[in-house]
Amino acid sequence: MRTSNPCIAVATMVLCPALMFAGTVSGKVTYTGTPVKQKPISMAKEPSCEKQHPTPVNTETVVTGANNTLENVVVYISAGGDDANAPAQAVTFTQKGCQYIPHVIALHTGQELHVVNGDQTSHNIHPMPKANPEWNKSQPPGAPPIVQKFDNAEFISVKCQIHPWMHGWFAVLKTNHYSITGDGGAFTLPNLPPGKYTITAWHEDYGTQTQDVTITGTETKSVDFSFKAKAY
Amino acid sequence: MKNSKPWKFRIGLGCLALGALCILPVSARDAPDVGPHPAQPLPPMESHIGHVTGHAKDGKMDYRRYCAGCHGDTGDGNGENAQWLDPKPRDFTLATFKCRSTPTGTLPTDQDLFNTLGRGVTNSFMPVWNTFSDQKRADLVAYIKTFSPRWEKEKAGEPLKVPTEPPVTIESIAHGKALFTKLECWKCHGPQGKGDGPSAATLTDSKDQPIRPYDFSAGRDDSRFKCGSTNEDIYKIFMTGVDGTPMPSFADTIQPNDAWDLVHFLRTLQVHRHSKENDILKAAGGKIPPYVEKPSEAPATQPPSGAAGGGR
C-alpha cells in the first residue's frame, strides 16, 4: 500500500498516536489447590432441555482446564485506562438448553444487552444488582430479545428461578479493555496506549486480584494471575 | 434557708434549668442508644398523593416510632426485630418495591407506596396502617424516599395502563387457563395454583431468603394478594412483576386483553372465594372447556393440555 499524500500519513501519526504506539498485556489465569468438584445438573424437570444434553452438563461455578488453568475469569483495566464510551454494538446473552451461554458476559456501562431465549420453554431473567435497578422479566419461547442497559459498574448475578440451576454473571465495566478467559485460561488486552494501568482479574467464586503494569511503547507485557482454590 | 436566698439567685437557677432543657434534645440526638443515622441532613423529599403533599421531615418521628423496629433506622431492613421475621422487612436503601403500578426495575409512584402502607402486605408481618391519616402516610412515604439516592436521580416509572375489564365468560376463563399453561405459571404456582409447582421448593428472593409462590387456593372470601385484592390488582401484579422476588414481569409477553383472560382464570383458582368467575364456572358445569384458538388470531398453536389441571 502506497500513501499517496504524505500529509495523510503525518496526520494519522499525530491524530492516532494510540494506534501507532499501543502495547498489549497478556497472560494466563491459573489456580492452586483443589477446586470444588462441579456437579452434574439434573434437568429432569425440563424435558425439552434435558434431551439437548446427551450427557448431563456440570455446574459452572469453577471451570478449569489443563495445567491448572481457570476459565470464566474477567480480566480488565480497572484504573489508568480511558473511560471510553459504550460500543454501539449490543452484547448477547443466550439461554439455550437451560444454560446461559456464555456463563459470564462483560459489557460497558450503558451498552445494550440483548437477552435471547433459544429454548422451547419459558425463562425468567432476573439479574440481582446492588448498584443498578433490579428487574425480572418473563421470556416465553419465540419472544423477541429483552433489551436492557446498566448504568453503573458492578458484577451482577443472574438467575432463572423457573430453572434454579441456571446461574450466570454480567460484568458491567467502565472500560472496553477486557478479556474473559476460556479454555487454556489465557487473556489478551490489546491496544493499550503508553501509561500506567491496574489490571484486575475477577472470578465469581475466588474474588478479585489486581496487578499494576506500565506500558511504554508497543511491547507486550506478560501478567499472570493465580487464584487459591476455595476448599469446601 | 431557702427563703433567705436572694431573688436574683433563684432566677439564675431557673435560667440554668431552662437552658439544660433546651440542650437536652440536642444531646439526645447524639446518644448512643438512638442508633445510626444517615450522616447527611435530610433532603427535602416530598411525596404527592392526590392533593396531599407529604414531607420527609414530618414523617421521621413516626418512622422511628412505628417502622424502624423492623425496617431499621437507616432503612436497610435490619431493624432489631428483623432477625425474627420471615419474609424479611423491605430494604429501602435498594429502592426495590414489590407492589408497583410501574414497570419492573423502575421506581413505584408515591401513590403505590401510599397504598401499600394502607393495605399492609398479606402473608408477611407488615401490618395495615390505615389508622394513620392520609397526611401522616404521605409524610412516611416521603421519608422512605430519603433512604436511597435513586429517588433524587430517577423519576417513578410510567404507570401501566389497564384497559377496561371485559365481561367474564367461560371462554375468557378457558383462554386464561391456556395462558397459565403456556406461560408456565404452573412451574412455580402449581397446576391448581396451590403454590406447589416443580420449581416452588427452590425459590429464593433477591436476598437469598427462601420464598413461597402465592397459594391461590388458600383463604376464603377475605383472601387477598400481596398487592391488593381487586381484579385490577391481579392484572398489575403479573404485568409489572413483584420486584425483589422470583415473580417476573409479563408486560412484554401478554397482550392487555389476554391479561384480563388470565385474571379471570386466576380467580377460579381461588376455589373457596365467592366471585363472578366462580359463578360462571359453576354455571358452565364446573369444568373449564379446552381453549380453541380463534382463526383470526396469528399462528395457530395447539391448545396446551395435560400440564395444568382444572380450576378446581
Q: Which of A80-94, A158-172, A186-200, B21-35 has the lowest mean pLDDT?
A: B21-35
What is the architecture, at CATH level 2, of domain A15-79+175-232? Answer: Sandwich (2.60)
CB pairs under 8 A between A and B: 78
Q: What are A143-156's pLDDT values in tens digits?
A: 999 999 999 999 99
Judged against a pLDDT cut of 70, whether residue A10 lies above it is answered with no
Select the residue of A134, A139, A161 nearest B96 (Cβ to Cβ): A134
Domain ranges of chain A: 15-79+175-232, 85-174
For chain A, strand residue ranges (E) read: 23-32, 74-79, 91-96, 99-101, 104-108, 113-117, 123-128, 137-139, 146-148, 154-159, 167-173, 178-180, 186-192, 195-203, 207-215, 220-222, 225-228
Q: Could you tell me if A133 lies within 8 Å of chain B, comparing CB atoms?
A: yes
pLDDT for res A44: 93
CATH code of A85-174, in short, is 2.60.40.420
Name the pairing type of β-strands A113-117 and A91-96: parallel
- CA–CA min distance A212, chain B (Å): 33
- Residue position matching grid coordinates 419472544: A143
Q: How far, rounded to the nearest angstrom, does the alpha carbon of residue B179 sit from its chain's CA centroid?
A: 25
Q: For residues B146-164, b (16+ Cβ closer than 10 Å) or e, as one string?
A: bbbebbeeeebbebbebee
Query: Same fold for the domain at A15-79+175-232 and the one at A85-174?
Result: yes
Cβ–Cβ gap B183/A122 under 8 Å: yes
Cβ–Cβ gap A164/B199 under 8 Å: yes
Taken in order of first residue, the domains within chain B and their CATH numbers are 46-153 (1.10.760.10), 170-283 (1.10.760.10)
What share of chain B in percent tops pLDDT 90?
A: 76
Cβ–Cβ gap B249/A126 under 8 Å: no
Selected residues 204-223 of chain A with any CB under 8 Å from a CB in chain B: none
**For every one of its 312 residues, what pLDDT tens digit does chain B have, with 9 covering 90 and above?**
444 455 555 555 554 554 444 444 444 444 444 445 555 566 689 999 999 999 999 999 999 999 999 999 999 999 999 999 999 999 999 999 999 999 999 999 999 999 999 999 998 999 999 999 999 999 999 999 999 999 999 999 999 999 999 999 999 999 999 999 999 999 999 999 999 999 999 999 999 999 999 999 998 888 899 999 999 999 999 999 999 999 999 999 999 999 999 999 999 999 999 999 999 999 999 999 999 887 655 544 444 444 443 333
pLDDT for res B151: 96
Q: What are B199-210's pLDDT values in tens digits?
A: 999 999 999 999
Q: Could you tell me if B297 lies within 8 Å of chain A, comparing CB atoms?
A: no
Q: What are B148-165's pLDDT values in tens digits?
A: 999 999 999 999 999 999
Select the residue of A128, A136, A143 nearest B249 (Cβ to Cβ): A136
